[in-house]
Structure 1
Amino acid sequence: MKHLLLFASLALAVSSTAEETRSITLKDLPLLFADDSGVASSSGVKRTVHPARTRPQPVLEGSVPQEGSRVYLTGSVYHGEATGLLSMWYAGHPDLPGGKKPKVAGFRGGKGNFVLYATSKDGITWERPALGLHEFQGSKANNIIYDFHSPSVLLDATDPDPARRYKMLGSLTGAYYSATSPDGLTWTGPKEPIVKSSDNITLTQDPRTGEYLAFLRKYPTIIRGYPRRTVWLARSKDFIAWSKPELVFAPDEQDDAWAAATTGQRTEVNNMSVFPHAAGFLGFPTIFRVTATDRPASELSHGQSGTDGTLDVQLITSVDGRQWQRTEKREPIIARGAAGGFDGGSIFGVCSTAVHVGDKTWVYYTGISTTHGAPMPPKRIAIGRAEWRRHGFVSLDAGPESARVETQPLRLSISQLVVNADAAGGELRVGLQEADGRPIAGFSLEECMPLNVDDMRWTPKWGSSATPPTDRPLRVVVAMKNSRLFSLSCAQPRP
């Protein structure tokens, strides 16, 4: 009997541990509904992808010598909630006679790009502080901080070493490299590369494991007979040793349906930025429809690419960063702008972070006024801003019939569940259950006071006035009519 009781106790402990492992923590990141990674079951809802609103004019374009006539953003933008100031890490490409690379003491050159730093109070007007760190053209009164191509910066609050609080990946000639910084301005990096390949790269972190994820181009990848740009993943637990890159996202046959195979037309993936959420990741790949390639150098002007075509941005999803699923109808979530506009030809790359300010979510991007392979001029490359309602990339929508969404077990970090939903003209209620589906007294759907307006920070209230438990995982049940559900979070509600 003692053995049976011991076995039962062990089984219960293992079961409890497994339940904790399967639960999703709501802490700093919201639970989004771009896929079913956080959904246990649903009925009566449809998933809607919401394309961004973009501005007709760029928020930043080349205007100083260290930027040249083109600026790029695969880098990062962060919002300092305490100061209200936004910080941007981006790249400029100085225009020097004969295409010479800029010379700066201690810099290695690479593709001739500078990593630059700018700040803004409103996210539209950007200031270039005179940092005094590196001399260029006889002056240190500039915003130059490093020399990577395709810089991507991560603000890592989890690293106990303050000297490594900021982390950056980028490329130089032939390889990708890393660098660290205590303040995001003064950087040091190892001499040895992390991967022997180079071009575009973005950096993020898995919030569940703390692992660093680098999404990079490893060209060429031969797919269906053609060399293509594709997305590869390298991983690191300490930002020092990196795994061998593995192919994680490439164009499929449906992506090539538009192309005339006899002419060599095809689809490629130029680069991809990745944003974590509570149950997985959103990917923003730039889909490159190649109309011409391998044009001889004799036909190209200085700085012109031998590959031509248009690019826009789609949305894909993943639970682990390795296996990715498409969102249908494969339409752009950031589309090209009007013909003749700064982004009318291509969306070349997307910021490696999303910015959430008030009731808005912003994603900054690189816009090109022409196709990828056009000469400069007339090609113009500048930075624009895509805009959504807060966490508004995707919603689960209900019509006039009753609909229901039940989440996977969630572990709330604070006793304050926040719902982002539009129930104007409809109704939405929230109930809570134990992780195994048993009801929790006082938190039923019927006891929930309904939401009947559009509210991005709605805090459900129940008749019992009790607050949600935080000592164990629980399931959130949402009952909806004529409403849209965007996200769940434990972010502090409005004052």
Structure 2
Amino acid sequence: MRRSLLPFLFLCASIASAEVTSIGSRRELFVDKLLIDQMQGATLRLHHPEEAGIAVKFDQPWEGRFSAYITVIHNDEANKFQMYYRGNAGFKDGTSGEVTCYAESADGKTWVKPKLGLHEINGSKDNNVMLANLAPYTHNFAPFIDRRPGVPKEQRYKALAGLGGKSGGLSAFVSADGMHWQKMQDAAVITKGAFDSQNVSFWSEAEQCYVAYFRVFTAGIIDEKNWKPKGVRWVSRATSKDFLTWTDAVQMTCDQPLVDHIYISQTNPYFNAPHLYISTAARFMPGKDVLDDQAKKYLAEDTKAYPALIKDCSEAVLMTSRAGTTAYNRSFMEGFVRPGLHFRNWTSRSNYPACGLVQTGKSEMSLYVERHYGQSTALLQRFTLRLDGFASLHADYAGGEMTTKPFTFTGKALHLNLSTGAAGSVAVEIQDAEGKPLPGFTLDDCKALSYDDIDRVIGWKTGNDVSALAGKPVRLRWVLKDADVFSFRFE
């Protein structure tokens, strides 16, 4: 007896429906393979930030060679950039010698250290110290502007800070102006972790909750009293509706083996695509001594204060995550910001990025990286990237193509952030969910783009209006030659 095919067909239809991603009008970047089905001759290429000068020198007595754990915020309401960082001229971690310092900028490029007049240091209040005598919280104070709709003015700024031991973990702080802070409650709000690091938090527009990323060790801490962690430094995540009550910590998974020490994750929503979390993380290489005798001779004075200076090295790497997930994607295992030519950057804990990517021009964004850590020349360097320019879909002169998985969108036109050579081009074919070219949107119909622009609409012989396809499962077939596509969006 012949069986009916209807149940099988319904099952296939159900599976196909589940595999269709809805992207709406959000911007998608080529930092992972969520939407990628097949590639031929095309690759995902990591792009490296370019040096753009010194942002801040840690040259004041209360700052010093161990200044670290920097946060950069764009305050769009006040039209300024704000920077918070630890000042530590050589005091033991978590002691009263550590302070939290403040700097600000009108453009994210030139920074000033205002005389805040809040705390007396060395007999004077003419300094940029925002928090003092608040150990251990000044060790790793990490603030953000809370953009949750309806947040009370007195809680506009929030922060997590603290260590283990007597402090009990991470405590929650609030402020109306980002200068004067108070605890939300006496008890720590997150207690399970290895918090001797920069532990970051933010309001997630995509998840509609607060999210925190903080230091753990992959195999835990087998002896907290004598501080004997096991495994490599890594990251856990928790969420909260009120910044006080947090879910149990969940250790992040990864699509690569967990062999790197990730000292700080600096995970934050990307301002141009807030459903995508960007981590400009620090990869720590303990015990990797690479300096020659001449470099060590130059560092002799600094190593007297910090013998471990020449025993390790580190760099910035790029990791990404999607809102609501507990997985990191590491499509690019190579260094994002390398130590570079200067021997002073091939030292322990140098090259740690600040938390916070900010837009500093129409087509430019900036990130900030510590250099010369533990040395008398300690500083923060600014780097620049093209807007959305972490990575790209790339093809060389020989050409290549990529086809996406099925997805649905909303909008009327397809906008690209792209760059081609003079002989290069980018063309797009729109297909149905099964991969069949749609009439009017075939490759032959496409008006290929040869240009460099952060926002360029692509079209076909009949025009650029794709609204008739909105809400329907489609695939995009990208055909490139000597070109990079950094992001796309329907709107």
TM superposition score category, shorter chain reference: 0.7 to 0.9
Contact 2:395 2:484 in 1 (8 A): yes
1:273 has 2:269 as partner: no
Which residue of structure 2 aligns with residue 396 of structure 1?
A: 393
**Higher mean Cα deviation, 440-449 or 188-197?**
440-449
Write out per-residue CA displacement over residues 391-445 of structure 1, whole angstroms, 9 at most, x where no aligned residue: 2221221234553334456666764543111222211123445677676665444
Find 1:78's aligned residue among 74, 77, 80: 74
Aligned pairs, number: 443
Which residue of structure 2 aligns with residue 216 of structure 1?
A: 214
CA distance in structure 1 between the aligned counterparts of 2:378 and 2:218, rounded to whole angstroms: 25
Matched residue SS, 1:119: strand
Which residue of structure 2 aligns with residue 478 of structure 1?
A: 478
Structure-2-length-normalised TM-score: 0.74
Write out per-residue CA displacement over residues 106-125 of structure 1, whole angstroms, 9 at most, x where no aligned residue: xxx75643333322234332
Q: Specify every segment of 5 or more residues in structure 2 that has no aligned partner in the other structure, as ranges.
A: 1-10, 132-136, 223-227, 290-302
Identity %: 22
Find 1:177's aligned residue among 139, 155, 171: 171
Which residue of structure 2 aligns with residue 456 of structure 1?
A: 454
**Residues 435 and 367 (structure 1), Cα distance of their counterparts in 2 relative to 1, 3 Å cut:** farther
1:157 has 2:147 as partner: yes
Deviation at 1:217, TM superposition (A): 1.7
Find 1:194's aligned residue among 176, 180, 189: 189
Which residue of structure 1 aligns with residue 106 of structure 2?
A: 121
CA distance in structure 2 between the aligned counterparts of 1:307 and 1:204, rounded to whole angstroms: 35
Which residue of structure 2 aligns with residue 372 of structure 1?
A: none
Matched residue SS, 2:142: strand
Deviation at 1:92, TM superposition (A): 1.9
CA distance in structure 2 between the aligned counterparts of 1:453 and 1:181, rounded to whole angstroms: 46
CA distance in structure 1 between the aligned counterparts of 2:406 and 2:115, rounded to whole angstroms: 49
Which residue of structure 1 aligns with residue 35 of structure 2?
A: 38
Write out per-residue CA displacement over residues 210-246 of structure 1, whole angstroms, 9 at most, x where no aligned residue: 3333222235846999735512323123122112223
Matched residue SS, 1:148: helix
Deviation at 1:33, TM superposition (A): 1.2
1:361 has 2:365 as partner: yes
CA distance in structure 2 between the aligned counterparts of 1:429 and 1:326, rounded to whole angstroms: 28
CA distance in structure 1 between the aligned counterparts of 2:432 and 2:285, rounded to whole angstroms: 48
Which residue of structure 2 aligns with residue 240 of structure 1?
A: 244
Find 2:157's aligned residue among 166, 170, 183: 166
Matched residue SS, 1:291: coil
Contact 2:146 2:202 in 1 (8 A): no
Q: How does 1:7-406 map to 2 (within 5 A)?
A: 22-27=21-26, 30-55=27-52, 58-78=54-74, 80=76, 85-93=80-88, 99=91, 112-137=97-122, 139-146=124-131, 148-163=138-153, 164-172=155-163, 173-190=167-184, 191-196=186-191, 197-200=194-197, 201-204=199-202, 206-218=204-216, 221=219, 227-238=230-241, 239-248=243-252, 255=259, 268-276=261-269, 278=273, 280-291=276-287, 308-319=311-322, 321-328=325-332, 330-341=333-344, 346-356=349-359, 357-369=361-373, 378=375, 380-401=377-398, 403-406=400-403
2:88 is matched by which residue type in structure 1?
H
Deviation at 1:66, TM superposition (A): 4.0
Aligned-residue CA RMSD in angstroms?
A: 4.2
Deviation at 1:310, TM superposition (A): 0.9
Q: Specify every segment of 5 or more residues in structure 1 that has no aligned partner in the other structure, as ranges.
A: 1-10, 102-108, 256-266, 294-299, 370-375
2:362 is matched by which residue type in structure 1?
G
Contact 1:230 1:250 in 2 (8 A): no
1:430 has 2:433 as partner: no
Contact 1:74 1:349 in 2 (8 A): no
CA distance in structure 1 between the aligned counterparts of 2:414 and 2:251, rounded to whole angstroms: 38
CA distance in structure 1 between the aligned counterparts of 2:141 and 2:440, rounded to whole angstroms: 50
